[in-house]
Structures are given as structure tokens and as C-alpha cells.
């Protein structure tokens, strides 16, 4: 006989109960009734801040949350349960609906904690918890320049980021002496604070919110702090923590924990055996967990109990890995070294803005915990090592990804828990790999590892590689194709939007990996201006504003100066623009002039002056051709044998705006003395007495490489034809963010194969490559001018959406060597001689 399970609440953990039961109830023993308070189907509350990007609730919706095709599940939204009768085993909703149950799961979650300060209930005060909360904050932000977030923990920093994205200057007020006091220590908190303040967030720590001041009509006018200061604002967001929603349980008479929460045993049963509690409303062993991982573990225990199992709740893994305002923060195990005799090894790099701490036992043999701020690359290895023997020195372990040395998956014991969301061990994963799981999706399906928060996915890939399993080159989990395959799909089908591409050839909503790649491919194939329609939402930060963002929140403007050649009149114009807008000017090693310190609202005005004088975007912000560097060549130099300047100008104008998997740099030297350093470029040309030598695949950066000689003594027409082929072949076939050097190195046959393809036309594609480049040259349009000619695009360039033209007062400057340089909060001033 089919029994009925009623679930009160439709959050992430309640949804996990339904998913797990539907997956494992092969006999159909249970039907499920979900009674939800919110009007939205279950959504990813952990990713709530991303709602600000699209304002589309569906983008957050959890897979299968509607249950439209599952006749065994009834979902009732917007009708919360108001009463439970354990004796009759019924629940009643606010609309009067009564449902009987054989088992009941309380998944009511938590409510925001609002400190009982005077004025906390004034109009203009909000909490940060649900989609509806964010809708309210969005409406209030239209009338606010500054906003105050009460609480400097995880929720508080997410709320501050949301305000920042809404064009409001955030102030974060935290009672503790540092941000995120539960996750990081004093050193980690200092690094976190410094990086966040550089983004324009004002941080107040060690002070309490004393009063929310209001006007006669009951609206917020400001916040008074315990240090006597006042912040004028019409907008206050309380994000000072949560409290378990146990009010329904209390009315029913269920036992509750000493610090709140529905008391549950190891089977997640309450004091009434037919009622379970999971997630943030449950108190297990006297503790309420505000993390999704322990909640998912509770969900699995409940489902096992419902199906006749004997699963019990073990020790909860409270490890967290987050990205807050673009800053990595992770903690695991005994992060604060509270165990008797615990020792802490700390690596602090104030220049890089990173803080890494590993906590070990008093005999330095066992990993106890740790924390990472600014760079969480080692998290995948370190978290599973908690409780295990040190496999290497702490220095090796704290290096990113183990420093590339002997420390890797092999260092983990089989009992190490790789996936904390689903308690999946290394042994279980290796068994799944041995049984035929050959990629990450297969491991997710078989073990559920990686299907929770996703922080263990890099380790899954490393484990597959360590077991000798050839890895898929799929771009990301949303596309099974490589970047090169996606390029061919777009080219052959004529698709012009990401929506069409993912609908026909991918799955899901896309991510920050595949969206910029698709944007680059569409731009390479003439998909219109990069800020047209949905294209704008696909771009990386710099491409969204056609400028490079700098560390103090300002932008750089880099006009194209082909070949480094410029007339005195144009040079004077650049100087005048820099002077009028108070910009810092710098001549770079790439023969460009950088104008730094422009605010976002100044960008179009600066561009207009430059464009009217004949300048255009130098694409310093894009994965595109940056510049073609040159010496003065045979025109001026007594050693020059060819006109390097003319060729550099021609090449830069030919390939300007060419979008690619990574940035492209080129150089032309007029003789073998190599003053343009052409052999350090993706495309390097060196003059000879008989013509030109062409070098390819050089680059600077972290791993500098010399370019390799492709052909010698070719004439100019042949040279340009070969560069056309080389660049277009690279654009079509390279992987995401792969420089030309790495592309050639990874190519089977290397340089010899490349030479056969683009010189000897071994694949018969050279005519097509040349035609594609010719189309690019013909269709090129300056991206700056494209914004200036479009009022809709121009509207994007405002520091504050609710006050166009208002400068950002959080940005300030000081003078150094006769120019303005940024004042960076938390960074000591270095006096120049």
C-alpha cells in the first residue's frame, strides 16, 4: 500500500529529500506532498546573489523543482502549514487545506535574525534571505546612494555585493573585530577586508548598530553606530545571521534544542517518531547547522529511514568554499586551531592578497584543518586530508594544487571524504572509476559527488587522471563539445545567440566558463557588437565596459596606435584628454599609451574625444589582437633592412578587433638586432635582406616562451597570407584561454603539423581560412564608436543606475611624480624619491 510523506517547506534540503526518495523508491512505496510557504518552486538559495545578474527567478530554480511530470508528487506553493496534529497525523495550511500523512518532514529552514535595535522595523529596512527580499531591496536601491548592511558574515558580504551591483555604495557593519569571524581568523580577516575595501565597500568592524534613525513619516534616514558615527542612508539590510524556524514544532509540543531548533536524534527523528526534521530548522546533538552540506546529509538519512534502512547522522562536515565579491574564502576542519596542542602554519602574501593556514596536530603528523583567503586552489586536496596523516610538508600542501609536486590524489587515504555534500570517499570514487565511470558527469551520476556545491569537481578530475582515465575535453558541464567544436557548430549553423546555441547543442543555463567563450566565438564570426542584446550579459567584466578595470574600481582607456606610430597632433590630443579628465598616463612596453583612472561614467566622454580625432579602441580589454610592436626600421635606423613600421601598421589595422581564445600580441623588427622583441610574441616578424622571417607561438607571462621559426625569406604578400591562415586556424581550433604557445605545444605533431597545415595546405583549408580573415577585415567596426552611436548602450555607462552622471565618491586619488594615482584603502602609501 502506498504511504504519504508530507514535507513542510520547499527549500534546498526539502527538495533534496524528494529527489533522493524518488531516485531510491523503486517500488513506489511513497507519494509525496510538498507544502511551501514561498510562491517560487525550490531554488538555489546559496546562489541567491546571482539573481541580481538576471532578475530571473527561473535562473535559480533547482532541476526538476516543478515536478510537473511526476504524478507521485503534489507541490502546493504559497500555502504554508499552520498546524500539525500528531495524533491524527494531519497538517493544515493557511488556506484550510488538510493533508494526512504517514510520515512528516519539517524542512522549514531558518529566518533572518534582526537585532532588536530601535528603528529596525522602519520602512527601508530589509532582510536578505529570499527572492522576494531581493526584489524589495532592488526597488529601494533606486532611491539610495549609500546602503548599510548589518552583519559581516557570509550573508552580509553577499548582501553588500548585491547592493554594489545595484549601484549603491555598501557599508558593512560587523560587531566582531573582523569579517566572517566564524570562518577566518584575524590574519585571514585582514586580507579579506583589504581586498573587499579595494572594491569600494566600506567596512566597519568592532562596532554595533545602535539605532536605525527615521523620519516623521516612518522611513529610514540613517544608522547610528556604537562608536558615535552616523551613516546617512535610506536603505538598511539586516544580514546578521539566522535563527531556526521551530515555531511550528513548538506549537505542536515537539522537543527543541537548548539554543533553538527542532531536536532530532541520529535518525533525524523528532520526539514524535512519525515526524522528522532536516536542515536549518533541526538541532542535531544540540547544534543547528546553517550549511547546505549537513542538510543534505540529513535528507539522505531520512530517505534511508523511510525505505527501511538504518542510516544514522554522523559528524557533520562544516567545510565551506566560497567566492565573495570575487574573493576566494575557504575553511575546513579545525580552522581556528582550537584542538589541544594544535599547531598552525601560515603563509601570508600581502602583495598577492592571499592568506593560507594549515592546522596540524601537536606532533605535526596529522592534518586538523585550515583556511584559505584569496586563493583556494589547494582546497580540493586539503579538505579531504582532515584527520589523515600529513603526506608532505605543510609548505608543499599550502602551495597551489600542491605546488605541482608529489602531493596529489594519491596522498589521500581511501577513507578521505572527497565530497562533503554527499559524504563520498576517495575509495568509493575509485571503485566507481574502476567500474567504468570515465568522466565527471558519470561520477556525479553514480556517486553524486560534485552535484552539490561543486567544490570537489577539480579533485574528481585529478582522480580520473591519476587512474589513467583519458579526460573529456568538453568545454564545461553545459556543453559536451570543445571550444573548437562549438566554433564549427556556430560557423556552420549560423546561430547568432547564446540562447539558441545552448538550447540546441547544450544544456542548462550556462556558466562563467561557456558564456564568455560563446561571446568570443559569436564576435569572431561577425555576431554584431559585443554589447548587443543578450551578448552583453555573456561578456567578462572588462568586455562589458570595453575597458580594463583597475584595482581601485576605475578603468583604463587605451586607444589604438598602430605600429606605435603617431603624429604630433594626435599625441597632443591624447595629452589634452588626459589633462581634461585628470588621467594617469603611461607609455607601455607594447608601444601603447595607457590613460588610467577613468570612472565608468567618464568612459564614453573620453572615447568621443578620441574617436572624433580618428582614434579607436585598442582592445586592451579583450581576448583579441592587442598591438603590433615595431622598431623604426629601415626608414630611420642605419641597421634596418626592411620597413618594419609600415608592415606593423598594416598588420595591426588588418587584425584589429579579431576575437580569439586568448589575447594576441605581435611584433615586427627591421633587422636581426630584434629591437621590437618579435620572438617574444604570438606572431613575430623579423626582416632579412631577402624579405621576412615569420616566427609563431611566443609569449610573455608566467611561462615566457620564444616563438619558433615557421618560414624564412618570404615576401610581404606571402607573409600576410600565412599570418592570416595562422591566426584564423588558431581562432578556430584552440581551447579556451589557450595562448598560441600552448596551442602549438599541445598540437599533435607540433610545429611540423602546423607548418604542413598553413604553409603546405595539407588539409585543404587554407582558402577557407583566408576568406574568413578577409571577411573579418571587411566587417570590422570600432567597438567604442558602436557604443557612442547607440543610446541604449550608452545608458550602461553610469556609476549609479539611479543617478546617472553622479561620480563615485568612494574613488579618490593622491599625487605622485606629478600625476594622480589611486588611494587604496588598507594599502600603505609608499613615498617615491
DSSP output for 454-497:
-TTHHHHHHHHHHTTPPPP--SBTTBSS-HHHHHHHHHHH----
Q: Give whichever of 194-203, 451-460, 569-578 has the largest mean pLDDT.
A: 569-578
Q: What's the whole-model pTM score? A: 0.58
Q: Residue 130: which of 293, 242, 228, 276 has the closest Cα?
A: 242
**770 inside domain:** yes
**833 inside domain:** no
Residue 514 known to bind ligand: no
Question: Residue 731 pLDDT > 90, yes or no?
Answer: yes
The domain spanning residue 754 has which CATH number? 3.30.413.10
Looking at the structure, tell me whether residues 595 and 645 fall in a common domain: yes
Which three three-digit cell numbers place residue 820? 594622480
Looking at the structure, tell me whether residues 296 and 324 fall in a common domain: no
| Separation of first and last alpha carbons in the chain | 86
The domain spanning residue 202 has which CATH number? 3.50.50.60
**812 inside domain:** no
Domain count, the chain: 6
Strand partners, 32: 5, 73
**84 inside domain:** yes
Q: Do 62 and 19 touch, CB atoms closer than 8 A?
A: no
Looking at the structure, tell me whether residues 623 and 689 fall in a common domain: yes
Domain that holds residue 301: 3-111+244-306
**Confidence (pLDDT) at 404:** 40
Which three three-digit cell numbers place residue 592? 601603447
Residue 631 known to bind ligand: yes
Counting beta carbons within 10 angstroms of the beta carbon of residue 367, is it exposed (0 to 12), middle (13 to 18) or buried (19 or more)? buried
Helix (H) or strand (E) holding 346: strand 343-349
Q: What share of the chain has pLDDT > 70, as a percent?
A: 94
Question: Residue 401 pLDDT > 50, yes or no?
Answer: no
Looking at the structure, tell me whether residues 604 and 752 fall in a common domain: yes
Looking at the structure, tell me whether residues 219 and 279 fall in a common domain: no
**478 inside domain:** no
Looking at the structure, tell me whether residues 601 and 652 fall in a common domain: yes
**159 inside domain:** yes
Q: Rg of the chain over CA atoms, in angstroms?
A: 30
CA–CA gap between residue 108 and residue 267 (Å, rounded): 18
Looking at the structure, tell me whether residues 606 and 678 fall in a common domain: yes
Last residue of a domain, one of 410, 439, 460: 410
CA–CA gap between residue 41 and residue 129 (Å, rounded): 15
What number is the average pLDDT over the span 377-391?
Answer: 83
Question: Residue 803 pLDDT > 60, yes or no?
Answer: no
Last residue of a domain, one of 210, 239, 268: 239
CA–CA gap between residue 448 and residue 457 (Å, rounded): 11
Helix (H) or strand (E) holding 460: helix 457-466
Looking at the structure, tell me whether residues 120 and 64 fall in a common domain: no
Helix (H) or strand (E) holding 82: strand 81-85
CA–CA gap between residue 127 and residue 136 (Å, rounded): 9
Looking at the structure, tell me whether residues 266 and 400 fall in a common domain: no
Residue 511 known to bind ligand: no
**800 inside domain:** no
Looking at the structure, tell me whether residues 618 and 721 fall in a common domain: yes
Question: Residue 35 pLDDT > 60, yes or no?
Answer: yes
pLDDT digits (tens, 9 = 90+) for 600-616: 889 999 999 999 999 99
The domain spanning residue 390 has which CATH number? 3.30.390.30
CA–CA gap between residue 472 and residue 489 (Å, rounded): 18
Looking at the structure, tell me whether residues 222 and 249 fall in a common domain: no
Q: What share of the chain has pLDDT > 90, as a percent?
A: 54
The CA distances from residue 92 to 4, 42, 145, 262, 386, in Å, are 15, 21, 45, 19, 45
DSSP character at residue 49: G
Question: Residue 696 pLDDT > 90, yes or no?
Answer: yes
Last residue of a domain, one of 219, 239, 259: 239
Looking at the structure, tell me whether residues 632 and 652 fall in a common domain: yes
pLDDT digits (tens, 9 = 90+) for 2-34: 999 999 999 999 999 999 999 889 888 999 999
- The runs of H, that is alpha helices, within 198-246 are none
What number is the average pLDDT over the span 100-114?
Answer: 95
**815 inside domain:** no
pLDDT digits (tens, 9 = 90+) for 115-167: 999 999 999 999 999 999 999 999 999 889 999 999 998 889 989 988 988 88
Give the pLDDT band (50/70/90) at residue 304: very high
The domain spanning residue 441 has which CATH number? 1.10.10.1100
Amino acid at each position: 500500500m502506498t504511504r504519504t510523506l508530507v514535507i513542510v517547506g520547499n527549500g534546498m534540503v526539502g527538495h533534496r529529500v524528494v529527489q533522493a526518495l524518488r531516485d531510491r523508491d523503486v517500488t513506489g512505496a511513497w507519494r509525496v506532498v510538498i507544502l511551501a510557504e514561498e510562491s517560487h518552486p525550490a531554488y538555489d538559495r546559496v546562489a541567491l546573489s546571482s539573481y541580481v545578474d538576471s532578475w530571473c527567478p527561473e535562473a535559480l530554480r533547482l532541476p526538476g523543482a516543478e515536478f510537473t511530470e511526476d504524478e507521485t508528487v503534489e507541490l502546493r506553493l504559497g500555502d504554508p502549514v499552520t498546524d500539525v496534529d500528531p495524533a491524527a497525523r494531519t497538517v493544515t495550511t493557511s488556506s484550510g487545506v488538510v493533508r494526512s500523512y504517514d510520515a512528516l518532514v519539517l524542512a522549514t529552514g531558518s529566518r533572518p535574525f534582526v537585532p532588536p535595535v530601535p528603528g529596525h522595523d522602519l520602512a527601508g529596512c530589509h532582510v536578505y534571505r529570499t527572492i522576494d527580499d531581493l526584489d524589495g531591496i532592488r526597488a529601494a536601491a533606486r532611491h539610495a546612494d549609500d546602503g548599510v548592511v548589518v552583519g559581516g558574515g557570509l550573508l552580509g558580504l553577499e548582501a553588500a555585493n548585491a547592493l554594489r551591483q545595484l549601484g549603491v555604495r555598501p557599508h558593512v557593519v560587523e560587531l566582531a573585530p573582523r569579517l566572517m569571524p566564524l570562518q577566518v581568523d584575524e590574519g585571514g580577516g585582514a586580507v579579506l577586508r583589504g581586498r573587499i575595501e579595494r572594491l569600494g565597500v566600506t567596512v566597519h568592524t568592532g562596532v554595533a548598530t545602535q539605532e536605525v534613525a527615521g523620519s516623521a513619516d516612518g522611513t529610514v534616514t540613517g544608522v547610528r553606530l556604537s562608536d558615535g558615527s552616523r551613516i546617512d542612508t535610506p536603505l538598511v539590510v539586516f544580514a546578521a545571521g539566522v535563527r531556526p524556524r521551530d515555531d511550528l514544532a513548538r506549537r505542536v509540543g515537539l522537543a527543541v534544542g537548548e539554543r533553538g531548533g527542532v531536536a532530532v536524534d541520529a535518525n533525524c527523528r523528532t520526539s514524535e517518531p512519525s515526524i522528522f526534521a532536516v536542515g536549518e530548522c533541526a538541532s542535531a546533538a544540540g547544534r543547528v547547522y546553517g550549511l547546505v552540506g549537513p542538510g543534505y546529509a540529513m535528507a539522505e538519512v531520512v530517505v534511508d529511514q523511510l525505505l527501511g534502512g538504518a542510516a544514522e547522522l554522523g559528524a557533520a562536515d562544516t567545510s565551506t568554499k566560497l567566492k565573495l565579491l570575487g574573493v576566494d574564502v575557504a575553511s575546513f576542519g579545525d580552522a581556528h586551531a582550537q584542538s589541544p596542542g594544535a599547531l598552525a602554519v601560515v603563509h601570508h602574501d600581502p602583495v598577492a592578497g592571499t592568506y593560507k593556514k594549515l592546522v596540524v596536530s601537536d606532533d605535526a603528523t596529522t592534518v586538523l584543518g585550515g583556511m584559505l583567503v584569496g586563493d583556494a586552489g589547494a582546497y580540493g586536496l586539503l579538505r579531504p586530508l582532515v584527520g589523515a596523516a600529513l603526506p608532505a610538508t605543510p609548505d608543499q600542501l599550502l602551495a597551489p594544487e600542491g605546488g605541482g609536486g608529489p602531493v596529489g590524489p594519491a596522498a589521500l587515504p581511501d577513507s578521505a571524504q572527497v565530497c562533503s555534500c554527499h559524504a563520498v570517499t576517495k575509495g568509493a570514487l575509485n571503485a566507481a572509476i574502476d567500474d567504468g565511470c570515465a568522466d565527471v558527469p558519470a561520477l556525479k551520476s553514480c556517486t553524486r559527488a560534485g552535484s552539490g556545491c561543486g567544490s570537489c569537481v577539480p579533485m574528481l578530475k585529478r582522480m580520473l587522471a591519476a587512474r589513467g582515465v583519458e579526460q573529456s575535453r568538453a568545454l564545461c558541464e553545459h556543453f559536451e563539445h570543445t571550444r573548437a567544436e562549438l566554433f564549427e557548430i556556430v560557423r556552420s549553423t549560423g546561430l547568432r545567440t547564446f540562447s539558441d546555441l545552448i538550447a540546441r547543442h547544450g544544456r542548462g543555463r550556462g556558466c562563467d566558463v561557456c558564456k564568455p567563450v560563446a561571446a568570443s566565438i559569436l564576435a569572431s564570426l561577425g555576431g554584431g557588437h559585443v554589447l548587443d542584446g543578450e551578448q552583453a550579459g555573456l561578456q567578462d567584466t572588462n568586455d562589458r565596459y570595453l575597458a580594463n578595470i583597475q584595482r581601485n574600481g576605475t578603468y583604463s582607456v587605451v586607444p589604438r596606435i598602430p605600429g606605435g606610430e603617431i603624429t604630433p597632433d594626435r599625441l597632443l590630443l591624447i595629452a589634452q584628454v588626459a589633462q581634461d579628465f585628470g588621467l594617469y598616463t603611461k607609455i607601455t612596453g607594447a608601444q601603447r599609451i595607457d590613460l588610467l583612472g577613468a570612472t565608468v561614467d567618464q568612459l564614453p566622454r573620453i572615447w568621443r574625444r578620441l574617436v572624433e580625432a580618428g582614434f579607436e579602441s585598442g582592445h586592451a580589454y579583450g581576448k583579441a589582437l592587442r598591438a603590433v610592436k615595431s622598431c623604426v626600421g629601415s626608414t630611420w635606423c642605419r641597421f634596418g633592412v626592411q620597413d618594419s613600421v609600415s608592415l606593423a601598421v598594416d598588420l595591426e589595422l588588418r587584425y584589429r578587433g579579431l576575437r580569439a581564445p586568448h589575447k594576441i600580441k605581435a611584433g615586427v623588427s627591421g633587422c636581426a638586432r630584434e629591437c621590437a622583441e618579435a620572438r617574444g610574441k604570438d606572431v613575430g616578424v623579423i626582416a632579412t635582406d631577402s624579405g621576412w622571417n615569420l616566427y609563431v607561438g611566443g609569449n610573455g607571462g608566467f611561462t615566457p616562451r620564444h616563438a619558433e621559426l615557421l618560414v624564412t625569406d618570404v615576401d610581404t604578400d606571402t607573409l600576410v597570407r600565412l599570418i592570416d591562415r595562422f591566426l584564423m586556424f588558431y581562432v578556430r581550433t584552440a581551447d579556451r584561454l589557450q595562448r598560441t604557445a600552448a596551442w602549438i605545444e599541445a598540437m599533435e605533431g607540433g610545429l611540423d603539423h602546423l607548418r604542413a597545415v598553413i604553409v603546405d595546405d595539407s588539409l585543404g583549408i587554407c582558402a577557407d581560412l583566408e576568406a574568413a580573415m578577409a571577411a573579418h577585415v571587411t566587417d570590422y567596426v570600432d567597438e567604442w564608436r558602436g557604443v557612442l552611436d547607440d543610446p541604449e548602450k550608452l545608458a550602461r555607462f553610469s556609476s549609479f543606475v539611479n543617478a546617472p552622471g553622479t561620480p563615485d565618491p568612494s574613488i579618490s586619488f593622491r599625487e605622485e611624480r606629478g600625476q594622480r594615482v589611486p588611494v587604496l584603502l588598507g594599502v600603505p602609501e609608499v613615498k617615491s624619491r
